Structures are given as C-alpha cells and as structure tokens.
Amino acid sequence: MADKPHGRTHADRALLLRAVSLLRRISAGTNEWQRTEMEHGFTVNQALVLHHLVSHGDATPSELADWANVSRGSLTPTLKRLEEMGLLTRRADEKDGRKQVLSATKEARAIAPRVEKEVLHPVLHTFADWSPKELERFCEDLTRILEGPLFGGRS
C-alpha cells in the first residue's frame, strides 16, 4: 500500500499536495495584504468589524466572532483598539446584563466608507467576476477544510 497513502493514488496525492501548496500561497498572500493594510491605520479584522457594525447594526462579541470566523479571544484586541479609537461603544444587554452589546459610533459611520474602500475593496475586487454560485461553492469548500482536524474541526 506504499503507493496509496491514505487510500489515495500517487496522482491523487500530488493533487492534494498542490492544493496544500495553493492554500499556503493564499495564506502568505493574505498575511502580506494584512501587513500592507495596517499601513492605512486599520487591520483587516478592524475593517471587517467596522463594516459589520455599520452595515448590520449592534452585535455581541460572540456574534461578531461567529460572523468573522474567529475565536472570541482573538477578536478582543480588535474590539479594544476600535473602542480606544472611539469607533465602537459597549453597553450591557438589556435582557442579560452579563452580555455586552457593541455599537458603531457616529465617527465610525463617518469613516466606514473610506476604511472599506482602502482595506476591503482590494479583496472584493479579486472576486468581482465570480458568480454567486461560485462564491457559495468556494465558501462551502473552505468551510469543509476548516472543519477538518488540522484546523480544530470535528472530523
């Protein structure tokens, strides 16, 4: 079975390794994009959170983390920085005082279009000619990868 690791043929294995290489290249490109955008004053995570709060309204930290596909802990520095910048406020949830509700400030609403243009539009442009069906399939495939054991998923 040496020629069929994990029940795969050599050709299948070569294709899988190509996929891993492409994922690594996407990761490296994403990291470089992140470093470049920080020069504009906002990280990608900050821009995403700002976009969500301005476009969709108030949210809890857990809701934002779920939407952004990150852990709540990894979102904490982003929220803290946006709060320090005067772009979001926190208040206790009216129904459950243990929960926090985050809101975009007036200042956040004023700068959100500029931040989106500088930080998010370049990546949106990458997918400009993809159909909704192609994007949905891409998201499903990425989700499947992230649900695997390599990324702490349940498989």
Residues 31 and 48 occupy one common structural domain:
no
The answer to whether position 153 is within a domain reads: no
Residues 79 and 136 in one domain: yes
What is the tens place of the pLDDT at every residue in 47-60?
Answer: 899 999 999 999 99
Which tens digits make up the pLDDT trace of 105-153? Answer: 999 999 999 888 888 888 788 899 999 999 999 999 988 888 888 777 6
**Higher model confidence: residue 132 or residue 1?**
132
Are 81 and 104 contained in the same domain? yes
Q: Is the pTM of this model over 0.85?
A: no
pLDDT of residue 86: 95
* Residue 1 predicted with pLDDT over 50: no
Q: What is the chain written as a DSSP string?
A: -TTSGGG--HHHHHHHHHHHHHHHHHHHHHHHHHHHHHTTT--HHHHHHHHHHHHH--B-HHHHHHHHTS-HHHHHHHHHHHHHTTSEEEEE-SS-TTSEEEEE-HHHHHHHHHHIIIIIHHHHHHTTT--HHHHHHHHHHHHHHHTSGGGT---
Residue 154 lies in a domain: no
Same structural domain for residues 75 and 137? yes
Same domain? 94 vs 28: no
If one counts the domains in the chain, the total is 2
* Domain span at 34: 1-39
My answer on whether 64 and 121 are in the same domain is yes
Q: Could you tell me the CATH number of the domain that includes residue 109?
A: 1.10.10.10
Chain segment 48-101, per-residue pLDDT in tens:
999 999 999 999 999 999 998 888 888 999 999 999 999 999 998 888 878 899
